[in-house]
Amino acid sequence: MKTIIWIMAYLLAIFALPTFAQRPYEKNKALEIDNLKVERNPIKTKGKIGEKREITRFIYYENFSGLTGDARDIATGYLKAKAEQFGIDEELNTIKVTDIKNTPGGSHVYYQQYIQDIPVYDSRGSITINKQGTVTFATNNYRPGLSMKSTLLSVDSSDVISIAKDYLNVTGKMRGKEKAELMIFESKDRGAELSWRINIPASQPLGSWEVFVNANDRRIIHVKDRMMYRTTNGRGMVWSPDPLTTADAYYGSPYVDNNDNDISELNAERISVTLKDITYDTNSRKYKLNGPYCVLSDEETPSDIFPELSDSSDFNYTRSQQEFEAVMVYYHIDKSTRRLIELGYNEPEQLQFKADPHGLSGDDNSHYDPVLRT
């Protein structure tokens, strides 16, 4: 069937998250500065390997056993065994366990990189351990090669809060208390920088602003609005995961492709779902299927026109309509990405993933281009 069959298996572990509804609001991206150094890594068979540093970022199907003790002991032993592969110092002098979450299925141990007892931003990793004490999954965001000659600072926390607020031109009442934390930030242009991470919950400009300021020269390093604007949820009709599964049927009449024409039995398997964080265009006053994790984009032939509606709850199409596949693509990619982030896979490449529901000149096929990220 000409829909996104390529992600059916990908969705088996997905579950729904709660929804929120407020008035539409758009981020003020003009204030953001993207200066975090991020590696673009190619996928390898059992994990993700740094292109230059040759370190493992993820191990999806780990089966590492033989360690004893509690979850912390097992995680520590595992990190020592994988130190070279993960790019971590063998004695774990730059690693601290920051949290342990116990579940009915086992434990999740979270760790972070530290330099001279100062946490390194965006360096958190996790280790999953089952009830038998076997490590089954690991993530690693350690940033090797970082060092600081000195951690002396010339700007205190109250000063940097004022610097951050001045940059944002904050006015009006604050939605909460500002916070400042000393961190090591690896920037694209200067590498490791001793910096203050400031959180500004502002009303004007609205946002949960994260601002990094150099702790010595007062330079604004990096600015990001961390607020999730769950303000334009819509609704639409999809198959989830596919009509054969929900109908408990095998492919065959009446459950056949029929050249994309409507079949009552197939349409009957559609369900109404929440389309999270879709975009409200204030100019056209229309809702579009663009969100934080999926953006519909006409990348290949044939030419596509994606649905734009005045009613956010009206993305309801039958399988014969081209718009049905657009809704399917948005819903399943968005839902899958949210689940992956929840499991610890959180990389910039996951944000606003471009997807063309009808590429390859209309062929019934799917593909991913790691260079174009589409």
Averaged pLDDT for residues 67-79: 97
Sign of the dihedral defined by the CA atoms of residues 282, 284, 289, 295, in that order: negative
> 7-18: b or e for each residue (b if 16 or more CB lie within 10 Å)?
bbebbeebeeee
User: Residue 17: pLDDT above 50?
Assistant: no
Instruction: Name the token pair of 208.
Output: 């949960």
Radius of gyration of the chain (CA): 23
The pLDDT score that the predictor gives to residue 14 is 34
24: pLDDT confidence band, cut at 50, 70 and 90?
very low
Q: Which domains does the chain have, with CATH numbers?
A: 5-25+230-362 (no CATH), 29-36+148-225 (3.10.450), 56-139 (3.30.200)
User: Residue 346: pLDDT above 70?
Assistant: no
348: pLDDT confidence band, cut at 50, 70 and 90?
low
> 352-367: b or e for each residue (b if 16 or more CB lie within 10 Å)?
ebbbbbbbeeeeeebe
pLDDT digit string, tens, across residues 278-322? 887 766 678 889 888 888 887 776 767 788 888 888 899 998 888
Phi-psi label, residue 165: left if phi above 0, alpha if psi -120 to 50, beta otherwise? alpha
pLDDT digit string, tens, across residues 232-279? 789 999 999 999 999 999 999 999 988 888 999 999 999 999 999 888
Measured CA to CA, the distance from residue 305 to residue 322 in angstroms comes to 9
The pLDDT score that the predictor gives to residue 23 is 42
User: Residue 132: pLDDT above 50?
Assistant: yes
Task: Measure Cα distances from 73 to 77, 96, 100, 161, 263 in Å.
Answer: 6, 12, 11, 39, 57
164: pLDDT confidence band, cut at 50, 70 and 90?
very high
**Amino acid at site 76:** T
Q: Which residue has the higher pLDDT, 189 or 260?
A: 189
Cis bond leading into 302, ω under 30°? yes
User: Residue 198: pLDDT above 50?
Assistant: yes
The pLDDT score that the predictor gives to residue 374 is 59
68: pLDDT confidence band, cut at 50, 70 and 90?
very high
pLDDT digit string, tens, across residues 204-238? 998 889 999 999 999 999 999 876 554 578 999 99
9: pLDDT confidence band, cut at 50, 70 and 90?
very low
Read off the pTM. Answer: 0.60
- List helix spans (H) across 235-292: 243-247, 264-267
Percent of the chain with pLDDT strictly greater than 90 = 50
The pLDDT score that the predictor gives to residue 345 is 72
Measured CA to CA, the distance from residue 173 to residue 318 in angstroms comes to 47
User: Residue 151: pLDDT above 80?
Assistant: yes
Percent of the chain with pLDDT strictly greater than 70 = 80
- List helix spans (H) across the chain: 71-81, 83-86, 157-168, 243-247, 264-267, 322-342
User: Residue 48: pLDDT above 50?
Assistant: no
Cis bond leading into 254, ω under 30°? yes
Instruction: Name the token pair of 291.
Output: 């969100």
Neighbours of 129 (CB within 10 A): 28
50: pLDDT confidence band, cut at 50, 70 and 90?
very low
Contact 167, 129 (CB under 8 A): no
Contacts of residue 6, defined as CB under 8 A and 6 or more positions apart, other chains included, come to 366
Q: What are phi and psi of 81, to 5 degrees?
A: -70, -30
Task: Measure Cα distances from 355 to 268, 361, 362 in Å.
Answer: 26, 15, 14
Contacts of residue 223, defined as CB under 8 A and 6 or more positions apart, other chains included, come to 31, 32, 33, 167, 168, 209, 210, 211, 212
